[in-house]
């Protein structure tokens, strides 16, 4: 193995997790590790060679490091987000929580750098196993249950991915992780794509996300919103650009997520559904497959990680300080938590695509790519989803948390580290909107897109203005209500109940019946066979063995009687034996 494997950015987080296990109880050491590891990894990605960490194992070539422009843009935002997330969770006391977060980030970085499918799968599963602890560490019944469902769904997705990898290797004897041609895709390739799509929360295999993310810890949800789905976007962009199914499903995602976000009451469920919607833009851009569309998907992934993390951090601060994030239980918090209010509003306008924010310079690139490729229906669907985004996250969520009727909930601003992390993410949201070239120069293809045109600015302001007017006119109808909105997770929740009923009733009854039959019939038959075999052992095998032994002993006794000790008798016997042999030879 090449020694340069130790340059792998994921190795810093794995080493950091190990160090936290030994020294995590020393708070100053814990904080140094939490901040130092992401800083080292962020520095390291700027010095990575094009390939490293190549080794051979059981006849397979494993490539732990393959770097190009597509890889770099995701590495950049992943390590940056790891640093912001580490600052946000500095106050968290559980060392295990920090270890899980570091291993989760390591899995994401390892997947992003992987050059073969086996390495992808190894780090892919590390992500799933590590991230579930960010749900369980909330230590509530709902979180434990949601974590188990999350783990089961991702295990199933991992098995589908592994099946596709095995079939692909059987077909072409090549595990290189590279682009797959849409017109030559096989069943194995589509299985791999489904495994990736599950992590991207593509309907109808998306319900794990709004089920699990709202039940995660406050800091855990910040990490989870950044890595799982965006790592899936990366692998789809790497392997499946230009697949029509992705373009169609991505457009559906944008509207599906927005529809649920508009009617939700839990602030973190609203944001979870908006992950589905915003990732839909990225999946659609990958499906369109042109250089501008893939650039737009990468740019939007970068921007989305930052503004979505900012929103989860703001809502998490509310949950941390008040104990709830239900919109119907909140209101008027701008007086008590002004800093969190400012940061959350910045995240809301960024996700809505306001000019001078990151959403404006990324989301519009995908819509423009759809128009340039003459995908009018897709373009209209993406534009309509933008309306729903501003309605639900840009207006509804901040209005009912920070403004509206004062709920009287007592609160205060979050700890300094949470506000510092929100400040960093908010700064990046504005910085990218003001200076888009910083992001554009990292994109995989040469960028020929200028967001700040008079037409685009005018169109955006009109859409946002009419959406705001619509909210003002319909505010009484959009008032949040404490209700449960059923999604497709209903099927596996009910399916689990059916499974448990089958296990407890028919299967258990059948098992008891089989056990009784065995006790009454099978046991007697087994004992009878055992007695017959025992008799055969005593009367047959032992008799033959004992008699053979006796014969050998008797023959030995007779042979011993012939040994007189007189040499003349031995010579005479030998002569007689020789004469007998000679006579036999002569006459035969």
Each residue of 411-425: pLDDT tens digit? 888 899 999 999 999
Please state, in angstroms and rounded to a whole number, the distance separating the CA atoms of residues 310 and 316. Answer: 10
CB 363 within 8 A of CB 441: no
pLDDT of residue 1: 38
CB 186 within 8 A of CB 168: yes
Q: Exposed e or buried b for every residue in 343-381, given b needs 16+ CB within 10 A?
A: bbbbbbbbbbbbbebbbbbbbbbbbbbbeebebeebbeb
CB 105 within 8 A of CB 12: no
More confidently predicted of 508 and 543: 508
Please state, in angstroms and rounded to a whole number, the distance separating the CA atoms of residues 254 and 281. Answer: 6
Beta bridge partners of 176: 116
* Domain residue extents for the chain: 1-231, 240-487
3-class DSSP state for residue 411? Answer: coil
Please state, in angstroms and rounded to a whole number, the distance separating the CA atoms of residues 310 and 222. Answer: 8
Average the pLDDT over each of 271-275, 464-468, 508-512 and give the range with the smallest value.
508-512
Average the pLDDT over each of 14-23, 89-98, 146-155, 568-577 and give the range with the smallest value.
568-577
The answer on pLDDT for 397 being more than 70 is yes
Helix (H) or strand (E) holding 62: strand 60-66
More confidently predicted of 558 and 90: 90
283: Cα within 13 Å, side-chain hemisphere: 31
In this structure, what token pair is assigned to residue 274? 């908006």
Q: Which of 561, 365, 550 is nearest to 444 (CA)?
A: 365
Mean pLDDT of the chain: 88
Concatenated DSSP letters of 172-210: HS--B-----GGG--HHHHHHHHHHHHHTT-TTS-THHH
- How crowded is residue 70: how many other Cβ atoms within 10 Å of its Cβ? 20
Q: What is the mean pLDDT of residues 136-146?
A: 93
pLDDT band at 268 (very low <50, low <70, confident <90, very high): very high
Beta bridge partners of 326: 266
The CA-based dihedral angle spanning residues 251, 253, 254, 255, taken in that order and rounded to the nearest 10 degrees: 100
Q: What is the mean pLDDT of residues 373-399?
A: 91
pLDDT band at 223 (very low <50, low <70, confident <90, very high): very high
Helix (H) or strand (E) holding 477: none
Beta bridge partners of 66: 51
pLDDT band at 148 (very low <50, low <70, confident <90, very high): very high
CB 257 within 8 A of CB 389: no
Please state, in angstroms and rounded to a whole number, the distance separating the CA atoms of residues 465 and 471. Answer: 10
Distances (CA, A) of 256 to 249, 253, 464: 10, 5, 20
Please state, in angstroms and rounded to a whole number, the distance separating the CA atoms of residues 187 and 207. Answer: 25
Beta bridge partners of 266: 326
- 479-528 pLDDT, tens digit each: 878 877 778 777 777 776 776 777 677 877 777 777 777 677 767 777 77
Q: What is the mean pLDDT of residues 421-439?
A: 96
Q: Which of 67, 180, 181 is nearest to 114 (CA)?
A: 67
CB 455 within 8 A of CB 375: no
In this structure, what token pair is assigned to residue 28? 């100053």
Residue with tokens 């579930």: 132
The answer on pLDDT for 191 being more than 80 is yes
pLDDT of residue 7: 76
The answer on pLDDT for 241 being more than 50 is yes
User: Is residue 348 reached through a cis peptide bond, with omega within 30 degrees of 0 on the bond before it?
Assistant: no
pLDDT of residue 429: 96
- 304-355 pLDDT, tens digit each: 999 999 999 999 999 999 989 899 888 888 888 999 999 999 999 999 999 9
CB 376 within 8 A of CB 368: no
């Amino acid at each position: 193995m090449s020694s340069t494997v130790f340059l792998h950015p994921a190795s810093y987080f794995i080493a950091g997790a190990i160090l936290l296990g030994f020294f995590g109880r020393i708070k100053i050491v814990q904080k140094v590790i939490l901040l130092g590891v992401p800083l080292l990894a962020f520095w390291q990605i700027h010095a990575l060679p094009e390939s490293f960490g190549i080794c051979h194992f059981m006849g397979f070539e494993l490539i732990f490091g393959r770097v190009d422009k597509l890889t770099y843009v995701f590495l950049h935002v992943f390590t940056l987000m790891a640093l912001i997330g580490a600052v946000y969770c500095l106050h968290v006391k559980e060392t295990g929580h920090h270890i899980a977060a570091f291993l989760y980030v390591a899995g994401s970085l390892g997947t992003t750098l992987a050059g073969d499918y086996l390495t992808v799968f190894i780090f892919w599963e590390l992500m799933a196993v590590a991230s579930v602890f960010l749900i369980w560490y909330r230590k509530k019944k709902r979180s434990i249950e949601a974590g188990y469902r999350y783990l089961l769904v991702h295990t199933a997705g991992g098995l589908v991915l592994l099946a596709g990898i095995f079939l692909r290797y059987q077909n072409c004897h090549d595990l290189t992780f590279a682009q797959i041609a849409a017109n030559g895709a096989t069943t194995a390739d589509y299985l791999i794509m489904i495994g990736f799509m599950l992590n991207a929360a593509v309907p109808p295999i998306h319900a794990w996300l709004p089920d699990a993310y709202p039940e995660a810890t406050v800091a855990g949800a910040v990490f989870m919103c950044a890595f799982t789905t965006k790592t899936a976007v990366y692998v789809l962009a790497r392997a499946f650009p230009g697949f029509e199914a992705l373009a169609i499903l991505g457009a559906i995602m944008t509207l599906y997520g927005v529809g649920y976000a508009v009617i939700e009451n839990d602030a973190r469920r609203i944001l979870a559904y908006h992950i589905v919607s915003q990732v839909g833009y990225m999946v659609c851009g990958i499906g369109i497959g042109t250089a501008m569309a893939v650039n737009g998907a990468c740019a939007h992934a970068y921007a989305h990680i930052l503004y979505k993390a900012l929103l989860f951090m703001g809502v998490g601060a509310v949950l941390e300080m008040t104990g709830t994030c239900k919109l119907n239980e909140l209101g008027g918090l701008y007086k008590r938590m002004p800093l969190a209010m400012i940061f959350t509003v910045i995240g809301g306008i960024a996700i809505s695509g306001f000019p001078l924010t990151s959403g404006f310079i990324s989301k519009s690139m995908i819509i423009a790519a759809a128009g340039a490729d003459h995908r009018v229906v897709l373009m209209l669907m993406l534009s309509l989803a933008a309306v729903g985004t501003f309605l639900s996250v840009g207006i509804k969520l901040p209005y009912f948390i920070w403004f509206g009727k004062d709920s009287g909930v007592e609160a205060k601003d979050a700890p300094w580290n949470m506000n510092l992390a929100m400040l960093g993410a908010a700064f990046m949201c504005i910085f990218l909107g003001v200076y888009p070239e910083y992001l554009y120069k990292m994109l995989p293809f040469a960028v020929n897109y200028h967001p700040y045109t008079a037409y685009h600015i005018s169109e955006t302001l009109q859409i946002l203005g009419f959406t705001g007017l619509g909210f003002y006119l319909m505010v009484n109808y959009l008032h949040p209500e404490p209700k449960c909105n059923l999604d497709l997770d209903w099927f596996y929740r009910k399916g689990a109940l059916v499974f448990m009923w089958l296990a407890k009733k028919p299967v258990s009854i059948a098992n008891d019946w089989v056990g009784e039959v065995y006790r009454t019939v099978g046991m007697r038959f087994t004992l009878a066979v055992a007695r017959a075999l025992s008799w055969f052992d005593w009367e047959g095998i032992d008799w033959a063995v004992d008699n053979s032994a006796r014969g050998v002993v008797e023959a030995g006794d007779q042979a011993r009687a012939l040994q007189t000790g007189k040499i003349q008798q031995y010579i005479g016997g030998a002569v007689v034996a020789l004469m007998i042999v000679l006579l036999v030879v002569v006459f035969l």
